[in-house]
């Protein structure tokens, strides 16, 4: 694939991810009753936070963000539209929030992988894909005072890592192949939401609560036994 086509694909995925995540951040800000400045800040952080973190880790100057005028303008327009939409439309968006979030995840994961492929080893490509796909959402949730969705919800970051791996291995190169990968990642993300696929987890909070309950029960039983012996 020549350089011109690479850049075209890169731009398309960047625009798709920017719109999806900018609107996601704006809606979260409105849910938390932020003012219009907070809406723009949270939307921009969601759209560009992952890319900034990725650039820091793979050695790209963070200032390259300011050269992305098209994406910044796209994000501002998307957030402005989200801010003035009727409540009914926003509620419809929220019903489809997981779908648009999956679009942003897939687009940014592939974009991040393309950014690092050819310049860094496979491990760096996978990390770049993951951070670009989930970094903005994590920062958004932290700023909104929420537990990061990507660390507690259905399988999320894994799909970004898989996308990064297959791009880094060169299995998907042409625009058609990358579009196919995009659709596959979106489909699997939505399947994980629908079927509630989760990674293994261990809840110490629940285990400790059960342990305390059992200890209390044992103490109560011992006390009852001692009272019975005295009688």
**Do 191 and 81 belong to one domain?**
yes
pLDDT score recorded for residue 1:
42
Residues 95 and 191 in one domain: yes
The predicted pLDDT at position 212 comes to: 61
On whether both 179 and 217 belong to a single domain, the answer is: no
Structure confidence at residue 4 (pLDDT)? 43
| Residues 62, 94 share a domain | yes
Per-residue burial over 81-114, b if 16 or more Cβ lie within 10 Å, else e, is ebbebeeeebeebeeeebebbbbbbbbbbbbbbb
Same domain, 99 and 212: no
Q: What is the pLDDT of residues 193-222, one digit of tens each?
A: 888 877 777 667 766 666 665 655 565 555
Residue 3, H or E segment: helix 3-31
In tens, the pLDDT along 19-45 reads: 888 998 998 899 888 999 999 999 999
What pLDDT is recorded for position 216? 54
**12 and 112 co-located in one domain:** yes
Same domain, 210 and 176: no
182, 105 contact by CB (below 8 A):
no
Total domains in the chain come to 2
Structure tokens of 217?
A: 């029960």
CA quadruple 18, 100, 120, 4: dihedral sign: negative
Distance CA 54, CA 119 (A): 13
Q: What is the pTM of this model?
A: 0.76
The reply to whether 84 and 29 lie within a common domain is yes
The verdict on 185 and 207 lying in the same domain is no
Give the residues of the chain that fall short of pLDDT 70: 1-10, 94-95, 152-154, 202-203, 206-231
> Cα separation of 73 and 168, whole Å?
30
| Same domain? 192 vs 213 | no
The reported pLDDT for the residue numbered 215 is: 54
pLDDT for 81 equals 92
CA 201 to chain centre: 19
Does 207 lie in the same domain as 119? no
Host domain of residue 30:
3-200
Whether residues 62 and 140 share a domain: the answer is yes
């Amino acid at each position: 694939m020549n350089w011109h086509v690479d850049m075209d694909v890169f731009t398309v995925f960047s625009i798709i991810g920017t719109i999806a995540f900018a609107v996601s951040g704006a809606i979260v800000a409105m849910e938390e009753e932020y003012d219009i400045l907070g809406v723009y800040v949270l939307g921009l952080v969601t759209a560009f936070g992952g890319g900034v973190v990725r650039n820091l880790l793979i050695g790209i100057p963070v200032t390259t963000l300011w050269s992305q005028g098209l994406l910044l303008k796209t994000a501002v327009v998307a957030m402005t539209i989200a801010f003035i939409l009727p409540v009914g439309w926003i509620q419809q968006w929220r019903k489809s929030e997981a779908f648009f979030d999956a679009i942003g995840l897939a687009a940014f994961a592939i974009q991040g992988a393309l950014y690092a492929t050819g310049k860094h080893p496979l491990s760096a490509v996978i990390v770049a894909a993951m951070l670009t796909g989930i970094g903005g959402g994590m920062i958004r949730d932290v700023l909104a005072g929420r537990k990061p969705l990507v660390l507690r919800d259905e399988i999320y970051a894994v799909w970004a890592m898989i996308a990064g791996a297959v791009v880094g291995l060169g299995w998907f190169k042409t625009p058609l192949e990358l579009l196919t990968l995009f659709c596959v990642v979106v489909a699997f993300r939505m399947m994980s939401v629908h079927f509630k696929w989760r990674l293994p987890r261990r809840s110490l909070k629940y285990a400790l609560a059960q342990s305390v309950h059992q200890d209390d029960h044992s103490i109560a039983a011992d006390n009852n036994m001692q009272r019975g012996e005295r009688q």
